[in-house]
Chain A
Amino acid sequence: MLAPADARRPLRSSRLRHGGGRRRALTREETHDREPRQEAGIALPDGIASLGPEAAEHVRRLIRDAERRQDEEIDEALETTLRVVPRPLRGTVRKVLAP
């Protein structure tokens, strides 16, 4: 789960900061704020929850880590996509990926 403070931080990728020129990458607002970023809030199956609070919290942490990892990969992928699309298509692609 990304905490609200995390959501306001700049993206990790240096490519966004140093991409420069006319190439505008997706901003965090475009890539993040349009999407729900809360923890999925999975209700653990009873058999998992019954293993005890420590095990349940461990599972929740692993799920949060998986979500965070996916968030980072998707952000990175969206940025890179805009950079490699041929210039004439870039506007269209931007509209599709970040309407």
Chain B
Amino acid sequence: MVELERRAELLRLAQVLRVEPGELRMLEGADPADLRALRRQVWDALLERHRPTFERAATLAQMLPASMAAKIAQTAMGPALAARAAALLEPEQAGELARRLPPAFLADIAEHIDPWRVGALLDSLEPATLAATALELRRRERWVVMGSFVGHLPEHALRPVVDTFDGETMLRIGLTAERTDRLDRLVALLPDPRLDEMLDAAHRLELWSEAIWLVSHLGPEQGARIVAAVERSRADVIDRLAAVLSTRAELRVAAMPLIERAPRHLRELIGA
């Protein structure tokens, strides 16, 4: 799965550099760990480049009433400055500010924040605010941003946020989720019909790589739910899955733990 891991890292690096992923073609031979290191270096460099300005903007936000600071952040500072200033605020202050900002602007800010730097800030936000922001990011199809954030959401906000995901969203953000250890927990929150939707999206949009990447990070319980969902799928979906597994060795290897746990009749259907 190193190919998918590299693809996910290239998408994240493109997000930080704010370029189209196609501009990073020259890095397609790079190791995912090197791409991750480069992305963090770039993010830090961009923060340090203007740190005094960001610190002063954060100071300003602390001096003004929260309502005025929110208005200035939205109408004047813009998302780039507001996002990096927010990263320097105390989490409670950032939360107070965020509560006064509309989801569309919070979504703008999310595009300029690296969540592994601002985890505490996310803790201070209301679940409803996070869910509304997630919905806006989904509307914009900002999968990389969503994938970056999903691993850092506080436990109490997971369900409201996951409730905004459809099958396609779950597949796409699963690939770009930096913290793959949270994927099992996310899938556990999805009801069975949503798992069916995921498989349907994999078939309809040819997102089998994303689907297999996701299921390869699941534990036995959620893996069994996926196997059951495959069993419930239409014949044409299962046929396509069988074709993908027979032609793409990397995906077949990744899916093997699940295939081995599937009932015999299903294993035969997918050619295992």
Which residues of A are interface residues toward B (Cβ below 8 A)? 31, 34-37, 40, 42-48, 51, 54-55, 58-59, 62-63, 65-67, 69-71, 73-74, 76-78, 80-81, 83-86, 89, 92-93, 96-97, 99
Contact = CB atoms under 8 A, between A and B. Distances in A.
Nearest to A38: B49
B220 to A, nearest CB: 35
Contacts of B16: 66
Given A34-B52, A47-B33, A77-B77, A55 B42 contact: no
Interface in B4-40: 16-19, 23-24, 26-27, 29-31, 33-35, 37-38
Interface string B244-259: 0000000000000000
Closest 6 pairs (CB-CB, A-B): A47-B34, A40-B45, A81-B76, A77-B81, A55-B26, A45-B34
Interface of B: 16-19, 23-24, 26-27, 29-31, 33-35, 37-38, 41-42, 45-46, 48-50, 52-53, 56-57, 59-60, 63-64, 68, 71-72, 75-78, 80-81
Contacts of B63: 92, 96
Contacts of B29: 51
Nearest to A93: B60
Q: For chain A, what secondary structure do more than half of its interface residues adopt (helix, strand, loop), or is it mixed? A: helix
Contacts of A48: 27, 30, 34-35, 38
B23 A62 contact: yes
A40 B30 contact: no
Contacts of B30: 47-48, 51
